[in-house]
Every structure is written in structure tokens, then in C-alpha cells.
Amino acid sequence: MLGEESSAPVSYPYYSLHQLWQNDNHPIELYIPDFVYQRLVYIHQNPVCAGWVEAAKHYRYSSSVDYTGGKGLLDISVIDIAPTIGYVHVCDVG
């Protein structure tokens, strides 16, 4: 009926077909410097792992260039982290 709210989810096949990110996420609180460092490296290495660029700092939309002494597209606050422990996985390229 008109005016009644439906609790059934609405499906948009176009959006799910062309969606870039997964619907679910698992937020992690980054309160330990090693975790922050690990996540930054992971995010910066994604375009390299995808084969889009040779080095993370070459990806136009990455803040990686800011962390290597350059200037990116946006003004960001560079997080000063000196990791003491932890393992950072960098993808196998080529």
C-alpha cells in the first residue's frame, strides 16, 4: 500500500555488479604504532600488487609520495612511526 514502509532489502544489481569494495568490513582500531605502520604499508602497496605502478609513490592517488618526501594531491598529516617489531608483508611483484 502507498505510504507503508517495507522492511525488505532493496536490490540494485547494477551497483553490486560494478562495486569496487566488498560490502562487509572488519574495522580494526589502530592504537599500536606497529599496526598503523603495517596498515600504511599494506594500503600503499595495493597499487603495486595490482600491477598498476612500479612503486607505491608513483600511484597518483596514494599518500605514499608524502611518506617519501614528496607532495601528493591532497594535504595530509604524515604519521611519524618508527616500527620496532612486527612483520609487514609486501606482495610478490613480477
In the chain, domain spans? 28-94
Residue 7, pLDDT score: 60
Q: What is the pLDDT of residues 39-93, one digit of tens each?
A: 888 999 999 999 999 999 999 999 998 888 889 999 988 877 765 544 445 555 5
Q: Do the beta carbons of residue 12 and residue 55 sit within 8 Å?
A: no
Cell triple for 59: 600511484
7 vs 28, which has greater pLDDT? 28
Triad 93, 74, 56: Cα angle to 5°: 10
Cell 562495486 found at? 19
Enter the pTM of the model: 0.58
Residue 28 CA: distances (Å) to CA of 50, 55, 83: 23, 26, 18
Q: What is the pLDDT of residues 17-31, one digit of tens each?
A: 666 666 677 777 877
